[in-house]
Structure 1
Amino acid sequence: MKRHPTDGRQLVVHDFWAADHPTAAAMLAFLGRHHSRIPTVAFERTGLPPGTLLHRLGKGGAAAARAWHPWMLRVLDPCRAVELRGWPEGADAEIVLDLVAADGSSTDRYTLRVGGGRGELRPGGGTVDVTLTVGQFAVWYAGGYRSAAAAALAGVCGAPAVIARLLATVGDREPWLADYF
């Protein structure tokens, strides 16, 4: 349980694991029974329920996704940052990124190449594979997305398989930033 700014209290789910869909549905039904007293059930980033179960929301139910990351990171020079970051030896990807400015006013297209323990980000490219904001780029760069579903819920746009390939390039390390704000 946790305080909610407008509803009084909310139920917060930090981990959600189930062996199969019927078990997950039963667990969600259990959480839903608290609705009469607690109208908000919040799923933390690590406890996202299976997306295929969202169609079972009852009358008056709604799903909302909100991403929050407990750090502030702004990548000022994406090309240089990619060049300087450590990369897994086994990672191999070439992905065209559309990087959207924080205010949505402009976009820049880049081609990301990762291979042989090195990374390169160069302006230009062909058909866009993944679209993300500069903030989402920073979260990816820090290794903050743990799954393609989490990245998609945070607003990263692209085919799930391509997003998964993008995340695999940074998936060898847990995110770490010394300062929390």
Structure 2
Amino acid sequence: MTPQFEYSQNVNSEDVLRLGNILKQCFIDLGENESYINRIGVENLRVIHQNEQVVGGLALIPMSQWWGGVSVPMTGIAAVGIACEYRGSGGAIALMQHTVKELYENGVPISVLYPATQRLYRKAGYEQAGSACFWEIPALSIQVREQLLPVKPVVPINLEVFHDLHHKQATLNNGYLNRNQFMWEGVSKPLEKEPLYAYLIGEADQPQGYIIFSQHADKDDTILRIRDWVVLTTAAAQTFWSFLANHRSQIDKIRWRSSPVDPLTLLLPEQTAKLKHISRWMLRVIDVVKALEKRGYPKKIQTELHLEIEDDLIAENNGKFILSVANGRGEVTKGGKGELQLDIKGLAPLYTGLFTPQQLQITGKLQGTETSLDIATQIFAGSSPWMADFF
């Protein structure tokens, strides 16, 4: 731990003002600092000082994330900013290391962030763990016409109408957030003062999905931007596309967030939907035992995985562990053969299933016996992890 920095969990009004100015300079598109900080809550801000001067800070977002059909407590890290005159001083890594230690002391299993630079966060034990993707399709190319379900507007927009539907979709997708109030408010916050439109897919008493979107024009095209969506049935998927196709007279392109391999595109007659952008968010296993025990696993597998883990920041994460899996849940005990060796960074993409154990071994992220690699492949199998939210 870098000694010349002082980490503060209790942030006073002067610290908030200084941090707000730092974040405004760091993040040109953060929006109104006061509004953002009010939504985050001052109690979730952390700052780091040097000689009583605020060097930088970050925001904690307590929530949870779906892994193996189980919601695992997770703390998101957002708005990490260092004053420009202190950049390169070691303040950023000191801030992150203190934060990770605090999260461990508070019993947090995992933490997730969107990196501006991977090198910094890897020093704190984070690694690539899931995808954030933007897709685009020309409206004229959709060519799905039959609308199997009614589509009804939600006016005014009441986000509570969508909570249960989002929950049902989230349980099926590794990496999805179990959204808290802060994240739901982000869904309804207008972009560039664009009005939002929300529609339920299906009958009002038994909806099968929804879509929330805005529309805008740039110098070349008119764009329909899907802010949030849920599709739970085949009929809802068909209706989703036919509803969007009906905008073709006024809309040139449609953009949405989805997984790297979007199953919705299987309903399109041609491969006209294109993956326009993909980036990776990062995860850190804060507490090895809690993280492995709180996620879900394939229900019909009963086996043991013998791990040996290195963590240069959290001493309690070091050593040999046996992960016993049965009936969809895991139990961790100390000891074992240590047949699968990896550091805390290598554990992140294994835990999430972003890469297979064999791929992680080829890239030097772990080493294991053939048996341990096969067992790890079975228990961490699942849908490719992705997230529809940004924080």
When normalised by structure 2's length, the TM-score is 0.26
Structure 1 CA distance for aligned equivalents of residues 390 and 362 of structure 2: 23
* 1:78 to 2:288 alignment: yes
Distance 1:128 1:109, change over 3 A: same
Runs of 4+ in structure 1 over 2 Å off: 176-181
> Relative to structure 1, is the Cα distance of residues 102 and 91 closer, same or farther in structure 2, using a 3 angstrom cutoff?
farther
Percent identity between the two aligned chains: 29
Q: Secondary structure at the match of 1:138?
A: helix
The residue correspondences of 1:55-74 to structure 2 (distance < 5 A) are 70-74=280-284
**2:370 maps to 1:160:** yes
Question: How far is 1:142 from its partner?
Answer: 0.8
Question: Which whole-Å CA distance do the structure 2 matches of 1:75 and 1:81 have between them?
Answer: 7
Residues 142, 175 of structure 1: 8 Å contact kept: yes
Query: Shift of the alpha carbon at 1:178?
Result: 4.6
Larger Rg, first or second structure (1 or 2): 2
* Per-residue deviation, residues 135-171 of structure 1 (Å, max 9, x unmatched): 111111111123x430211321111231121121010
**Aligned positions, number:** 110
1:112 to 323, 333, 338: 323
Quote how far apart the aligned CAs of 1:110 are: 0.9
2:299 is the alignment partner of 1:89? yes
Distance of 2:388 and 2:288 partners within structure 1: 21
Aligned counterparts, 1:34-45, within 5 A: none
AA partner of residue 281 (structure 2)? W
How well do the aligned residues superpose, as a CA RMSD in angstroms? 2.5
Q: Which runs of 5+ in 2 are unaligned?
A: 1-278
Contact 1:92-1:169 within 8 A present in 2 as well: no
2:361 aligned partner, one-letter code: A
How many angstroms does 1:85 deviate by?
A: 0.7
Give yes or no for contact 1:102–1:135 (8 Å, CA) kept in 2: no
CA distance in 2, matches of 1:179, 1:134: 25
Q: CA deviation at 1:74?
A: 0.5
Residue 149 of structure 1, aligned match among 358, 374, 378: 358
CA gap 1:180/1:116 in 2 versus in 1, 3 angstroms: same
Q: Distance in 2 between matches of 1:79 and 1:135?
A: 15
1:71–1:179: 8 Å Cα contact kept in structure 2? no
1:125 aligns with 2:125: no
Tell me how far 1:173 sits from its aligned partner: 2.6
TM-score (norm 1): 0.53
For each residue in 1:7-48, what CA deviation from the matched residue of structure 2 results, as whole angstroms up to 9, or x when unmatched?
Answer: xxxxxxxxxxxxxxxxxxxxxxxxxxxxxxxxxxxxxxxxxx
Whole-Å separation in 2 of the counterparts to 1:136 and 1:120: 20
SS in structure 2 opposite 1:161?
Answer: helix
The corresponding residue for 2:42 is none
Q: Secondary structure at 1:126's aligned position in 2? A: coil
Q: Distance in 2 between matches of 1:180 and 1:160?
A: 37
More strand as a share of residues: 2
Partner of 1:171: 381
Deviation at 1:95, TM superposition (A): 1.7
Q: Distance in 2 between matches of 1:177 and 1:98?
A: 29
Deviation of the 1:179 alpha carbon: 5.9
Assess if the C-alpha contact under 8 Å between 2:306 and 2:323 holds in 1.
yes
Contact 2:341 2:367 in 1 (8 A): yes
List gaps (5 residues or longer) in structure 1.
1-68
